[in-house]
Every structure is written in structure tokens, then in C-alpha cells.
Amino acid sequence: MADKIDLKEQPHRRLNPLTKEWIKVSPHRTKRPWNGQVEKPMLDKKPAFDPACYLCPGNERAGGHKNPDYKGTFVFENDFAALLKDTPQSELNDGLFQAKSERGLCKVICFSPRHDLTISLMNLQEVTAVVKTWQKEFTDLGKLDYINHVQIFENRGSVMGCSNPHPHGQIWAEEIIPDIPATEQKNQKEYLKKNGTSLLTDYVASELEKKERIIFENDSFAALVPFWAVWPFETMILPKRQMRNIIEMNEKESTDLADALKRMGTRFDNLFQTSFPYSMGLHQAPTDGEDHEEWHFHIHYYPPLLRSATVKKFMVGYEMLGMPQRDITAEGSAARLRDCSEEHYTLTIGA
Ligand code: H2U
Ligand code: ZN
């Protein structure tokens, strides 16, 4: 093998140790200077209450349910749940044709009664209330004997297929551990067995030392672009100390997580001066009654945007058939997000 690889100049691939998948990086293609395409900042004002929104307080949802006049967060069982509690256990076992019934339940969480807010525009106390709601749901759902995994997530923006701008997230709680957290678990277990320490606890500590992919930190959390990021502005929020799930956080850590969520959201919105679309979600230890010493909970953000509020990355062609690829490096993306202000653009340009 020749000299040390030049991650800034040479085409290369990087390993994601959580999934054991590779990402191809072509940094030489970004020699042109960054010209963060100038588009008009998005300043459209939404109403604080929308009579046509099925998530606003007091409004009617599908099936005749009426939302209460809620003041903080509000949780309800999804009227079109993808998983049902009373599915009978059954399976198809016919050679290449395999199927199993799935049991679970789905909930929707309104983050705020205000139709016009997002995590980045809510105050710290309001975002802390979202974190506390996640903790309560994780605790309650995790106790159900047929629930072994609780997936908390937020899907935001019309390009992500989310049609309702009212700030909300979802929870899918189910019997099985879905494939992605199951793979992360397998690799965290293997790492623990080999090294005697937790993969992500070691990872966050060495990123904090290296600094080049860190976006910001507070006392309890670090926000970074992972070395193996696939999406141009993919990020992670990781607790600095090992915690298997969000109910291991103390009061201070819960507020610090809210602080990190708000700051991450604000930097994202400021990057292209738009209400930044993404899918984000928590990965935590399963609620299957096992110890899970290997787990270090974390949040993934997967935003689709590449160069501006309207130019998104498509995973097509070679990527659909071969493997994912990116031009801008994780370090370049981290630098851009690091340069973003933590004052929301709509508040500073007089919207
Ligand atoms: P997204 O917009 O993030 O996809 O989620 C909204 C969820 O709200 C969606 O899963 C549910 C949909 O099933 N929903 C209700 O539970 N009741 C309604 O009246 C409309 C939508
Ligand atoms: Zn609404």
C-alpha cells in the first residue's frame, strides 16, 4: 500500500462502523468555490392556527376524533396506523416466499399547539417538553410486553413526503427490532466484545478531540457530521457519556438535548434560509428486557438538500445500483454548518 490516503484530494471510500456499509467520496470534484446558490429566503408566514389542519387544537381528525384544546405537546394513536396491536400471529413459510405477521402501534406527537412553529423556532422550555414527552412514551410503550422496540422520528417538509407543516413527529412501537437498529446493535455488540468499550462512546470522544467534523457541543451532547455521512448534510447528535436510551438522562441532560435539537434545527434552517426538510430519529436500545451494554443512544438527521433550498440530492444511477457517493466531504459540510448562525434567519431579517 502506498502513502497515507489524502481524504481531501483522492477519490476514496469510507466505512460506517455502525452498519459496515461503505460510502464513496469524490472530493476532487468540488474544486470549484462554494457558491451557495442565491435564492430568496423563505419568509412565508403561516397562521398560528389553521382551521383546516388536522393537528391544530380543537380541530377534527379522520374518523371523527376531535383534538383537545391542548396547550403543550399532544399525543394520539395514529388514525391510519401502519401497525396494529391485535394482529394475530401467523406466518407464511414456503421456500422463497416468507412472511410473518407484525404487531405494534403507531402514535403521532404534536410538538406544539402552534401551527407556525418548528423545533428551531420553539423556545428551550417548549423543546424540553418534547424531550419529556418522548421519555414518557418510551417508558410507557417499552413496558408493554409485546413491544420490543420504540422508533421515535420526525419527518419534515414536503420534499420528504410530509404534507402537514404543523410541528409533529411519530412513534412506531413494535414487536420486532427493525433492520437498521438491529444492524447497529450487532455492530455495537461486536465492538464491545472486541474492545471492551462502546463503539459510539469511543467515536464521540475521538471526534471531540479531532474537532474537524464537530458542528457544536454543549455540556452533555455533541453535534457532528459523521465521518461516513451519505447525505450532503447528514448529521448526528450524540450524548458525550454512554446512555442506552433517553430515560437514562437526568434533568440537566434532558434540557441539554433540547438545546442541541433547537441549535441543530436553527443551523439547518439558516444554511439555505429555508425551513429545512429532513427525516430525523432516535436510535436507542430495544425494550426487550435485555441489558444492552453495547448501546449508546443517538439521533440521526437525514436531510435531502444539496446546494440550496430547492436543489436536492438524488440517490440515483450508480448509487441506486452500486453504492452511495458524495462529492462534498463530511469535513466540508461540517465547516459550513459550523459557520451558520444560531440566531434564526427569520428573526434577524425582519420577517
Ligand atoms: P406525516 O405528515 O409526518 O406523514 O404524519 C402525519 C400522520 O398523521 C400520518 O401518519 C396521521 C397520518 O396517518 N393522521 C392521523 O392520524 N389522523 C388524521 O386525521 C390525519 C393524519
Ligand atoms: Zn396545525
- pLDDT, tens digit (0-9, with 9 covering 90-100), for 244-290: 999 999 999 999 999 999 999 999 999 999 999 999 999 999 999 99
Mean pLDDT lowest for which of 40-44, 185-189, 296-300, 336-340? 40-44
Alpha helix stretches (DSSP H) within the chain = 124-143, 179-195, 199-210, 251-271, 318-321, 330-339, 345-348
- pLDDT, tens digit (0-9, with 9 covering 90-100), for 280-318: 999 999 999 999 999 999 999 999 999 999 999 999 999
Inter-residue contact 158 to 182 (CB < 8 Å): no
* Mean pLDDT across the chain: 95
Kindly list the protein residues whose Cβ atom lies closer than 6 A to any atom of ligand 1: 54, 61-62, 78-80, 108, 155, 162-164, 170
307 CA distance to ligand 1 middle (Å): 30
Side-chain half-sphere of 5: how many Cα atoms within 13 Å? 10
pLDDT value at residue 328: 94
Angstrom distance (rounded) from CA 138 to CA 75: 12
pLDDT band at residue 13 using 50, 70 and 90 as cut-offs: very high
User: What are the grid coordinates assigned to 166, written together?
Assistant: 404543523
**Is the pLDDT reported for residue 33 higher than 80?**
no
At 26, which amino acid appears? Answer: S
**Is the pLDDT reported for residue 3 higher than 80?**
no
Is 202 one of the annotated binding-site residues?
Answer: no
What number of other Cβ atoms are within 10 A of residue 301's Cβ?
24
69 CA distance to ligand 2 middle (Å): 12
**Is the pLDDT reported for residue 203 higher than 90?**
yes
pLDDT band at residue 29 using 50, 70 and 90 as cut-offs: confident
Task: Select from 3.30.930.10, 3.30.428.10, 3.40.50.720, 3.65.10.10 the CATH code of 41-345.
Answer: 3.30.428.10
* Active-site annotation holder among 168, 292, 296, 344: 168
Would you state the torsion angle of the CA atoms of residues 139, 169, 283, 122, taken in this order, to the nearest 10 degrees?
-90
Beta bridge partners of 23: 14
**Is the pLDDT reported for residue 65 higher than 90?**
yes
Domain ranges for the chain, please list them: 41-345
pLDDT band at residue 45 using 50, 70 and 90 as cut-offs: confident
Is 31 one of the annotated binding-site residues?
Answer: yes
74 CA distance to ligand 2 middle (Å): 12
Is 35 one of the annotated binding-site residues?
Answer: no
pLDDT band at residue 1 using 50, 70 and 90 as cut-offs: low
pLDDT value at residue 36: 55
Q: Give 13's contacts (C-beta < 8 A, 6+ positions apart).
A: 22, 23, 24, 25, 323
Q: Is there a catalytic annotation at residue 168?
A: yes
User: What are the grid coordinates assigned to 276, written together?
Assistant: 429545512
Whole-number percent of the chain with pLDDT over 70: 97
Per-residue DSSP letter, 54: T
User: What are the grid coordinates assigned to 163, written together?
Assistant: 404534507
pLDDT band at residue 15 using 50, 70 and 90 as cut-offs: very high
Inter-residue contact 313 to 305 (CB < 8 Å): yes
pLDDT band at residue 63 using 50, 70 and 90 as cut-offs: confident
Angstrom distance (rounded) from CA 46 to CA 57: 16
**Is the pLDDT reported for residue 32 higher than 90?**
no
pLDDT band at residue 94 using 50, 70 and 90 as cut-offs: very high
Ligand 1 atom, smallest distance to 154 CA: 3
Ligand 1 atom, smallest distance to 156 CA: 3
Inter-residue contact 139 to 131 (CB < 8 Å): no
pLDDT value at residue 35: 53
**Is the pLDDT reported for residue 236 higher than 90?**
yes
**Is the pLDDT reported for residue 189 higher than 60?**
yes
Mean pLDDT lowest for which of 19-33, 56-70, 86-100, 166-180? 19-33
